[in-house]
Amino acid sequence: MMKRIGYARVSTSAQDADRQVADLLAAGVRRDDLYTDRGASGARASRPEFDRALTALEKGDTLVVTTLDRLGRSKANMLSLAVELRGRDINLNVLNLGGGTVDTATPMGGMTFTVMAALAQMELDIKRERITDSVSKRRAAGRDLGGRRAQFTDSQVRNARRLIDGGQPGTQVAKDLGMSRATLYRRMAEIQAREWIGLQAGVVSEGIPRRSGMMP
């Protein structure tokens, strides 16, 4: 039987999650399927109840949150999570997104997330372009660039995912690769998000009829 798993979060223990809980219950989430983190910032890498909620989700289930920012502070991370859930055949239901409800199980909800993902990717591309321009200028000026180069290629991360899909423990695969488990799963989600965005963009463009007289 498909379940609706609810998740609520407040950033400090002094805040009240009652409103979120009430909205989730009203949306059809059973109290036994509701997880709440208190005193947990969206920027934290580990949120115990959120991790439990993700573990409880199975194929065909739906993760329900009141607002998208309950999943985290970074738009890129939130959208990567949405794509990761879709890869597991799990739907995401946001009760208040832009003043309305969005459910990725519906065509309109899926389209909304496609557009959001594309905008988030565009924002990342703009930031990356600015960083590249800054690095080029600093290099031309002979200044210390600082920081570290990326140590792992997308190909390495994809190979790691194949090992995990084949049944090897994620913790051991990450250790053999020389990175933390959290970093490996973040990189896998980022790659999957980019691939899904590209696929959806292609589907959308193919589905839009061209009007006569318009440039091809």
Pick the catalytic residue from 11, 136, 155, 212.
11
Sheet with 34-38: list strands edge to edge. 34-38, 4-10, 62-65, 91-97, 100-103
- Name the amino acid, one letter, at 117: A
* DSSP 3-state of 158: helix
Question: For this structure, is 11 an active site residue?
Answer: yes
**β-strands 100-103, 62-65: how paired?**
unpaired
Q: What is the DSSP letter of 30?
A: -
Angle between helices 181-207 and 154-165 (to 10 degrees): 100
Nearest to 190 by CA among 59, 76, 71, 41: 76
Catalytic residues: 11
